[in-house]
Amino acid sequence: MSTSATDRFTRAIGAAIGLGLVAALIVAARPAGGHGGVLPASLRFTASLDGAIAAEPAAPKPLLVSGPMRPGSHAQGNFTLSNQTGETLAVRLRAKPNSTALDGTAQVRLESRGVVLSEETLQALRQGTTKPLRLAPGAAAPVRVVAWIPAEVETGYEGRDVTVALEPQEETLP
Amino acid sequence: MKTTTKVLLTALCVGALGSLAAMGVFGAFSATTTNAGNTITAGTVSIADNDAGAAMYSITNAKPGESVSKCIKVTYTGSLDADVHIYTTSTIGALGQYVELTITPGTQTTPTFPSCTGFTPDSGGALYSGTLANFATAKNSYANGVVDYPGTGTKWAANESVVYQVTATLQSSAPEAAQGATTGAHTFTWEARNQ
């Protein structure tokens, strides 16, 4: 092989190696497919108390910290509400998220002793649970919070981190 | 390639590179730094009780020596540390001078307004003990109201609460002039102000 032929061969090999390295770099940096390659969402719930209704655990202590959530992920937490008044109360819980980032994406179900108080989007829960929780004077009731991102959701949750305060709204019953 | 050509080409390359370097040197220097996301959110001062709008006591036809004892739980839900003072701005009727009032802070296992079942007074004893009339005279604003904190603390923090036992007694020694008299409706106020 002549000198010029050797040079051409060496250059070709060098170019091939360089192109291979660039291709490997691009492949390594490419986000993974599906939902695994995007930032997950996270949800945190707290229960607020007022003078009439006590909550345990009460804010700022969280009752639910979801961890990484992607479509199909579920998280749940529990807390207790107690009526401190001398009246029978109908208590509804209203969500006050610190942002609207997951309003239409996250679904939330609140239930107490097997009765579903509401099952709707986080946005709808801003209006309060559809069914009230009836509490006699001095009575307490456990409440379970289940939050999830529906499996069919494709986008709109990535990297969203929302804290939701559940605030009691009570009405005196006769 | 002739030596002259090589020299010329080298000079050309050096000149071109020098020109590029000069463009960088004489170009406008620029640098920025940012501090984003600034925001101010005010804290809150919020206080509530468990009376659900009902009065602690309402006695009619009271006789000398008759007493009523009720408990109310006061909860602070603000985000700022606060002081709480207790006072009344009500005008007390003629019977007020014959009604002994005691306000005692404590805790209660299961607060259920206005019951005092399970109430345990704090070791410090009563915050106020005197006639209802004197309370209305001496404790009629935040400035001169009775000061109290949860436990042995010096502030009210979020979600802290105190149960107050309020005892009102018509003096056994109430004179004939007290017959048919009334205190009138009166309101106790717990006011919180941030520290």
pLDDT in tens, B127-163: 999 999 999 999 999 999 999 999 999 999 999 999 9
Helices marked H in chain A — which ranges?
Answer: 3-29, 122-125
Which of A48, A84, A135 to mutate to test binding with chain B, by most B CBs within 10 Å of its CB? A84
pLDDT-derived band at A23, boundaries 50, 70, 90: confident
d(CA B194, CA B85): 12
Residue of chain A whose Cα is closest to the Cα of B117 = A138
Residue of chain B whose Cα is closest to the Cα of A56 = B159
**Least confident span in A13-17, A29-33, A151-155:** A29-33
Region A80-84: mean pLDDT is 96
d(CA A105, CA A97): 13
Residue of chain B whose Cα is closest to the Cα of A87 = B52
pLDDT (0 to 100) of residue B55: 96
Region B55-80: mean pLDDT is 95
In this complex, is the C-beta atom of B51 within 8 Å of any C-beta atom belonging to chain A?
A: yes
Tokens standing for B105?
A: 């802070």
pLDDT (0 to 100) of residue A10: 78
pLDDT (0 to 100) of residue B73: 97
Tokens standing for A78?
A: 């529990």
To the nearest whole Å, the CA of A172 is away from the closest chain B CA by 8
pLDDT over 80 at B10, yes or no: no
Please report the sign of the dihedral spanned by the C-alpha atoms of residue B77, residue B164, residue B70, residue B59.
Answer: negative
pLDDT (0 to 100) of residue A6: 78
Nearest CA to A98 out of B45, B77, B39, B76 is that of B39
Contact call for A51 and B49, based on CB within 8 A? yes
pLDDT (0 to 100) of residue B24: 55
Tell me the sheet residues that pair with A43. A162
Region B76-94: mean pLDDT is 96
Q: Which residue has the tokens 């802070």?
A: B105
Q: What is the mean pLDDT of chain A?
A: 89
pLDDT-derived band at A36, boundaries 50, 70, 90: low
pLDDT (0 to 100) of residue B164: 97
Cβ contacts (< 8 Å) between B75 and chain A: which residues? Answer: 49-51, 54
pLDDT over 90 at A93, yes or no: yes
In this complex, is the C-beta atom of B189 within 8 Å of any C-beta atom belonging to chain A?
A: no
Instruction: Quote ipTM for the complex.
Output: 0.71
pLDDT over 70 at A31, yes or no: no
d(CA B158, CA A125): 25
pLDDT tens digits along A103-145 = 999 999 999 999 999 999 999 999 999 999 999 999 999 999 9
pLDDT (0 to 100) of residue B5: 77
In this complex, is the C-beta atom of A138 within 8 Å of any C-beta atom belonging to chain B?
A: yes
H or E element at residue B4: helix B3-26
Region A50-76: mean pLDDT is 94
pLDDT tens digits along B87-132 = 999 999 999 999 999 999 999 999 999 999 999 999 999 999 999 9
Cβ contacts (< 8 Å) between B74 and chain A: which residues? Answer: 51
Contact call for A50 and B75, based on CB within 8 A? yes
Out of B54, B111, B159, name the one closest to residue A84 (CB). Answer: B111
Contacts of B86 (CB under 8 A, 6+ apart): B103, B127, B128, B139, B145, B146, B148, B164, B188, B189, B190, B191
The answer to whether the pTM exceeds 0.90 is: no
Q: What is the mean pLDDT of chain B?
A: 91
In this complex, is the C-beta atom of B110 within 8 Å of any C-beta atom belonging to chain A?
A: yes
